[in-house]
Amino acid sequence: MTSPLIRDADLRVAAPATAAVTVVVPTFNEADNVRELLGRIAGAFPGDVPFEVLFVDDSTDDTPDVVRAAAPAFPFPVRLIHRDEPAGGLGGAVVEGLRAAAADWVVVMDGDLQHPPELVPDLVAEGERTGADLVVASRYAKGGSRAGLAGGYRLLVSGASTLLSKALFPRRLGGVSDPMSGFFAVRRKAVEADGLQPLGYKILLELVVRCRPRTITSVAEVPFAFQERFAGTSKSTAREGLRFLQHLAGLRTGTALSRMVVFGLIGLTGFLPNLAALYVLTGAGLHYLPAEVLANQFGVTWNLLLTELLLFHRERAHRHWADRWARFALLANADLLLRIPLIALLVAGAGMAVLPATALALVATFVLRFAATQALIYVPRTRREGRDGS
């Protein structure tokens, strides 16, 4: 569902028709940074380059009021979109800004001044010089620096996130040394905003993976030194880290085949809690047959949790958690009931040996279980109702 928006509220300008650059600034409680940011942007642009600044705001403080109050003091258009429901987090705010941008070039930057505004014209100039569709401000390019990252923990997380992303998408991220950067310039025509599915704050990764090489065909980089915050506190939390991992998994499992592979790997990990529970239950004196049944439910629960975390994070809202668990457990346990008769049919009816028959039955029931899980648990009700009613 699209978030309710307040567009250009109380500001003295509408979207300009001739802006060459739209600077999109997603904000969340950055009131103390707004005036300094606008002042430094004003000083960065040459006088002959028309530009606008577009704040897309999810704040719970007075940031929108500060933007409205500051706008008349500057000689360039300042626009505001305030979202009452911050769908997609910071990435969702950027996508909203990309949709509303009036210029051919869109520069995305944070509102805390860790991204130096003085570099904005250089990003656009590099894109014009090289013909690139996307220009990334990189901390890892020669001449760049991560100095503004506070503490060894954030440095470690940033480096590990970069390595993991590049390992999962070696071709899509070719030539992008800093896929975690939130500071970049992109040609508006190269972005398919409606095809983006942002989750959290790593919008550049989303943009490159979804749009390259179809619409974003070439990438350039400009080194930059990551700065310390001007005011306020960091929004980077453990929860954001979890959202990043979910986003990464969602990007990597974008096709049915990749989802099936991950679904199978998750199923393999389910043996660990299953065996652990079986060990505890039998050790407590429970007969092995009921212990097997109970232990299997531990594996089912484990598989469900990982499946929802890594594969169907967005789709789990379509049903209540108890309904999802009951359906998932039913499918997982029905797998065994289907597999045994299938093995018997292959051995007795087709004359197959037991081992190849078992392997074939495992593959067949796995494919069926994956298809049934997707169709019966995570397909939106509205989609099914739409087909039934058409």
- Binned at pLDDT 50, 70 and 90, residue 342 comes out as confident
What's the confidence (pLDDT) of residue 10?
Answer: 38
Cα gap 109→182, rounded to integer Å:
6
Which pLDDT band holds residue 15 (cuts at 50, 70, 90)? very low
Q: Alpha helices, DSSP H only, in 76-119?
A: 89-100
CB-CB contact of 240 with 200 (8 Å): yes
pLDDT score for 4: 40
Q: What is the pLDDT at residue 202?
A: 78
**Is the CB of residue 25 less than 8 Å from the CB of residue 54?**
yes
Give the C-alpha distances (Å, rounded to integers) separating 248 from 75, 205, 216.
41, 9, 20
How far is residue 159's CA from residue 285's CA, in Å, rounded to a whole number? 49
Fill in the amino acid letter for 255.
T
Q: Is residue 238 part of a domain?
A: no
Q: Which of 179, 201, 233 is the last residue of a domain?
A: 233
Residue 70 has pLDDT above 90, yes or no: yes
| Same domain, residue pair 225 and 274 | no
pLDDT tens-place string over residues 230-249: 776 665 566 666 677 766 76
Same domain, 30 and 119: yes
Q: What does the pLDDT look like over 16-63, one tens digit per residue?
A: 555 699 999 999 999 999 999 999 999 999 888 899 999 999 999 999
Confidence of residue 379 (pLDDT cuts 50, 70, 90): confident
Residue 142 located in a structural domain: yes
Number of H helices, E strands in the chain: 13, 8
Residue 6 pLDDT exceeds 60: no
pLDDT at 153: 58
**Within this chain, do residues 315 and 367 fall inside the same structural domain, yes or no?**
yes
For position 206, which CATH number holds?
3.90.550.10
**Quick one: 150 and 214 in the same domain?**
yes
Same domain for 313 and 223: no
Parent domain of 85: 5-233
Domain membership flag for residue 351: yes
Taking 90 as the threshold, does the pLDDT of residue 274 lie above it?
Answer: no
Is 98 part of any domain?
Answer: yes
At residue 27, the pLDDT reads 94
Domain boundary at 168, 200, 233, which? Answer: 233
Band the pLDDT of 79: cuts 50, 70, 90: very high
- 109-125 pLDDT, tens per residue? 999 999 999 999 999 99
User: Are 279 and 354 found together in one domain?
Assistant: yes
What are the angstrom distances between the C-alpha of 361 and each of 251, 266, 344? 30, 19, 10
What pLDDT is stored for residue 254 in this prediction? 64
Residues 101 and 209 in one domain: yes
Q: What digits encode the pLDDT tens for the residues 142-176?
A: 998 877 665 565 667 777 878 888 887 888 888 89
On the 0-12 / 13-18 / 19+ scale of CB atoms within 10 A, 383 is exposed
Q: Is 241 part of any domain? A: no
In a domain, 245, yes or no: no
204/264 same-domain check: no
In percent, how much of the chain has pLDDT > 90?
A: 31
The residue ranking higher by pLDDT, 248 or 376, is 376
Q: Do 262 and 221 belong to one domain?
A: no
pLDDT range class, residue 220, cuts 50, 70, 90:
very high
Average pLDDT over residues 322-341: 80
DSSP result, 112-176: SSSS-GGGHHHHHHHHHHHT-SEEEEESSSTT-B-TTS-HHHHHHHHHHHHHHHHHH-TTTTTT-
Q: Domain check: are 48 and 178 in the same one?
A: yes
- Domain presence at residue 115: yes
pLDDT of residue 109: 95
CA angle 370, 372, 373 (to 5 degrees): 65
What pLDDT was estimated at residue 268? 78
**Which of 169, 200, 233 corresponds to the end of one domain?**
233
Inter-axis angle of helices 89-100 and 203-211, nearest 10: 60
Domain shared by 291 and 161, yes or no: no
Q: Cα dist. 22→15, 95, 155, 284 in Å? A: 10, 13, 30, 66
Total number of domains in the chain: 2
Range with the poorest average pLDDT among 10-19, 21-30, 71-80, 311-320:
10-19
Same domain, 104 and 177: yes
* pTM for the model: 0.66
Instruction: Give me 19's structure tokens.
Output: 């802006």
246 assigned to some structural domain: no
